[in-house]
Amino acid sequence: GENVEQHPSTLSVQEGDSAVIKCTYSDSASNYFPWYKQELGKRPQLIIDIRSNVGEKKDQRIAVTLNKTAKHFSLHITETQPEDSAVYFCAASMNQAGTALIFGKGTTLSVSS
């Protein structure tokens, strides 16, 4: 089955710096890669996703890149703000209805002002 590794487990940056979180997956059949942000005590919220027919996707300060050959995908946050502090999870699955998401173990991002 699919296995997703996520690094680093914790990341501390200064406000305004960039943050990068990396994930690798094992199943070459996976073609949907979402990223979720979870604030303390809250639900995971989808912040961006990418499908395997796309190499990069941007949404304001957030971008995701995918290297399908290497089975790597990364989340890039630019101009970080204190409200970006949260746990970020990457996941992988088939892009079809009814397929479980396999999550990485999460990265705790702390942005200090």
Taking CA atoms, 56 is separated from 20, 65, 100, in Å, by 14, 4, 23
Count, residues near other proteins per rule CB under 8 A: 25
What string of DSSP letters covers 26-87? S-TT--EEEEEEE-TTS--EEEEEEETT-SEEEETTEEEEEETTTTEEEEEE-S--GGG-EE
> Residue 102 interacts with other proteins (CB under 8 A)?
yes
- Tokens 């999870």 belong to 89
> Residue 11 interacts with other proteins (CB under 8 A)?
no
> Residue 48 interacts with other proteins (CB under 8 A)?
no
Q: How far apart are CA 55 and CA 31, in angstroms?
A: 11
> Residue 27 interacts with other proteins (CB under 8 A)?
no
Among 23, 37, 44, 50, binds other proteins (CB under 8 A): 44
Among 10, 28, 45, 112, binds other proteins (CB under 8 A): 45
Query: Of the two residues 96 and 113, which places its CB atom closer to other proteins in the complex?
Result: 96
Q: How far apart are CA 30 and CA 81, in angstroms?
A: 32
Query: Of the two residues 38 and 78, which places its CB atom closer to other proteins in the complex?
Result: 38
> Residue 96 interacts with other proteins (CB under 8 A)?
yes
- Binding site residues, other proteins, CB under 8 A: 32, 34, 36, 42-46, 49, 89, 91, 93-106
